Amino acid sequence: MILAIDPGNIESGIVLIDDNLKPIEFGKYVNENVRQELRRYIKKYGYDLCIVIEMIDSYGMAVGKEVFETCVWIGRYKEMAEYYNMNATYIYRKEEKLNLCHSNRANDSNIRRALIDRFAKHDLKNGKGTKKNPDWFYGFAKDVWAAYAVGITYYDMYVKGEQ
């Protein structure tokens, strides 16, 4: 099981991914609630759980306080994993772009398209389907897509060993 986190300064997206890469549970939570979810997943799955967090990368540009606040939350999530003797792996956005789109110039919509192309079964436009006929990404929203991309990149790089 992979627990992937797309951290933010106030809220973070998380996705629990099973061994078949199917998203089982997901959502966008206030950061303090993400810590509660982390605790719950660690207690439920123990060492069968891989915790993966998107990490901030510096490109030499000026950043605002939101980026630094996000860094604090990244550290808090990692510290919580370590408290339970779990490892948390960082995945950088650049790694996601290269892994999923094979280009550093990829953006959110390119990443989403790559995920839809790879996993969607019948709704090849949005990958979500409908309530009566849900597809792979039914219920996904922006930060959940980002968290799923983090988890799939971890899988491809460390589990499957593509890179």
| Interval 43-95: pLDDT, tens | 898 888 899 999 988 777 777 888 888 989 999 999 988 888 888 999 999 99
Could you tell me the pTM of the whole model? 0.91
Q: Quote the mean pLDDT of the chain.
A: 90
User: Do 135 and 122 meet the contact criterion of CB atoms below 8 Å apart?
Assistant: yes
pLDDT tens digit string along 113-162? 999 999 999 988 988 988 999 999 999 988 899 999 999 999 999 888 65
Residue 147: give the domain boundaries: 2-159
- What residues form DSSP beta bridges with 14? 5, 27
In eight-state DSSP terms, residue 133 is S
Look at the chain and report how many structural domains it folds into: 1
| CATH number, domain with residue 35 | 3.30.420.10
Output the DSSP codes for 43-101: HHHGGG-EEEEEE----S----HHHHHHHHHHHHHHHHHHHTT--EEEEEHHHHHHHHH
